[in-house]
Amino acid sequence: MANRYYKGDNTGNGPSPQIWANCPVLDIMEDPNKGYHFFDDFLQFLEDTGGWLVAGTNDTCAYVATEVGGVINVGATGADNDEGYLTSGNNEAGMVKIYTTTPRKMWFEARVRTTSIVDQAVFIGLAEEGLAAADTLSNNDGDLASKDFVGFHADTAAPTLLDCVYREAAATGIVPKASAQTLVAATWYKLGMYFDGTYLHYYVDGVEESLTSTITGVDVDKGLKVSAATDFPDGEELAVLIGVHDGEGAAKSIDIDWVRVAQLR
């Protein structure tokens, strides 16, 4: 039988094989009992339909007219503390779980770029359902609200520095890798995660991030052991969440080229 797994190119515009090479996408498509796979290239994006919802405070959403192949821009109009988010599940339902009681492999990746890097906060990743709403990146600092998050975050105090993060609702936010990427305006990045059933791995442009060894649960050779991690949202339903928070009175936004998610049953 021919190789049924994804090859691709880590440096290309598509999904990174470093994340997706072991994801049995074709097997899942042929037999949904094995898991589920989701990919949206935004070729036919309709705001607030088909499961996607855009919301926040004075949020905006539009196609990027100068791009082909489906790129949408999500943001906020420009008053201080405005924010705009794209989320899956119509802002009501999760898409995956990262959990250790019945461990199941999970993959996530999105290709994004920020249109500005001045006094703004961003989040790209997975978060509890219902967070396309005001104060998801809270107050003027754009910090993570007291909700469930796993992904990548930059706050308004250091808008160019993208951290690997996670947080459990009502617990403390954790940064297993600070400054994983220095953001440059109008530059594309592929941000991804892979949960192998025990360890969570973070990736930027198809390259795995080496996590901080002093964080509880981190094994520098294996990733973040979820069952040992402090304040990790183990077993929580998580939806795709991508958005921006305005720390000043100027419009802010993020371009989204595609999103890909899969999980085994």
Helix locations, the chain, DSSP H: 17-20, 25-30
* Token representation of residue 70: 């489906």
- Is 244 within the bounds of a domain? yes
Place of tokens 């795709």: 240
Is the distance from CB of 248 to CB of 140 less than 8 angstroms?
no
Per-residue model confidence (pLDDT) at position 190: 98
Four-residue CA torsion sign, 71, 84, 183, 19 = negative
Per-residue model confidence (pLDDT) at position 2: 40
Mean pLDDT by 10 residues, the chain (265 residues): 64 94 93 95 77 93 94 94 95 94 95 95 97 92 97 97 98 98 97 98 97 97 97 97 95 97 97
Residue 91's domain spans which residues? 39-264
- Give the separation between CA 67 and CA 53, rounded to whole angstroms: 22
- Give the separation between CA 156 and CA 38, rounded to whole angstroms: 31
Question: 43: exposed, middle or buried (C-beta count within 10 Å: 0-12, 13-18, 19+)?
Answer: exposed
Is the distance from CB of 51 to CB of 87 less than 8 angstroms?
no
pTM, 2 dp = 0.96
Per-residue model confidence (pLDDT) at position 4: 56
Task: Tell me the sheet residues that pair with 36.
Answer: 263
Is the distance from CB of 48 to CB of 67 less than 8 angstroms?
no
- Is 6 within the bounds of a domain? no
* Token representation of residue 110: 């999105």
CA dihedral 169, 165, 218, 105 (to 10 degrees): 80
Q: How many domains does the chain have?
A: 1
- Domain CATH for 51: 2.60.120.200
- Is 33 within the bounds of a domain? no
3-state secondary structure of 90: helix
Determine the distance from the C-alpha atom of residue 46 to the mean position of all C-alpha atoms in its chain, rounded to a whole number: 20
DSSP code of residue 147: S
- Give the separation between CA 119 and CA 174, rounded to whole angstroms: 22
Task: Tell me the sheet residues that pair with 262.
Answer: 37, 107
Per-residue model confidence (pLDDT) at position 46: 67
Question: 209: exposed, middle or buried (C-beta count within 10 Å: 0-12, 13-18, 19+)?
Answer: middle
- Is 25 within the bounds of a domain? no
Phi, psi of 17, rounded to the nearest 5 degrees: -60, -25
Per-residue model confidence (pLDDT) at position 60: 94
Q: How many other β-carbons are positioned within 10 Å of the β-carbon of residue 96? A: 23
- Is 87 within the bounds of a domain? yes
